[in-house]
Structure 1
């Protein structure tokens, strides 16, 4: 199997890690690879923040716990089912592994010069929609994938997490990174598990000619 195919097929989302912290040169190599990802109009809006200080991790964890309680209170107010409330709690508890990971990143997008889409909206040529946000989301996805594949090559495991944002109202303020908008979190370390390959859709399920 070609080397790239091996990395792609072998990558797994890792949630259990050995205690050893990856050396700085590995992390630098991963972020440098992420820099090579394309972005609309070459805006390069993606930013990586390594959350190292214990007090910052604790602020995040505490804010997520507060957010979980607030969502549960709203669920009660809206008359949500117990099943949905259990999902809120279980999902929160499932995410706590991120704070035990050797390395934790927050990834976001920085405002840059106005994109072509924004110029068209401002001029009134196009009705404004979520296009600019979609562009940033696409940029993050491309950069994170290159980051993850480089990590796979180096023998590191990682996991991308967007669910913490269900519970965090203003992660940018907690991290002190505004005006960057946080889009996801990443865990990183040497794997201490070997998950089985999840089922993927077949070629025919996702591809067709028009």
Structure 2
């Protein structure tokens, strides 16, 4: 079963005067991952390298950022794979300490930095999500919100116009029971809308 992280975690590793600042964080896709990498580059402008690995289905990546090929990104990616993580970004910011570590030393340092960060992370099972969109009269808004909350659905957006339109997300296995409850309780006044 694939897992993701409940929240970002950081860890600092010192190896022969070099500082390896590891961050592991859950991400939705490659564009979110690249934005986080850019933010870390801006936060650490004097760092020698900002290496990263992303495990996100078909959007996975391993970037060495100037380190010898295969000594940073790929070992970090392997740590994520061994932990059965999905939708997870690992970034290691390296401040060079003046002592060369060699290829083996670099692989160990990047691997250890990510592995140590993951020791402090909380892994949660990754469950497929289902998004839905519906409309109800104003009189049923309170009932709709209570029903969504009772079924552990996440309210994404509410719009108040001629009717109340609501976008929500729910774990895919729970979606059929919620839909049945909404269809029954909506008394024919709930209208399912096509996704945008």
TM-score range, shorter chain: under 0.3
State the TM-score, normalizing by the size of structure 1. 0.25
Structure ID, larger Rg? 2
- Kindly indicate which of the two structures has a greater share of residues assigned to strand: 2
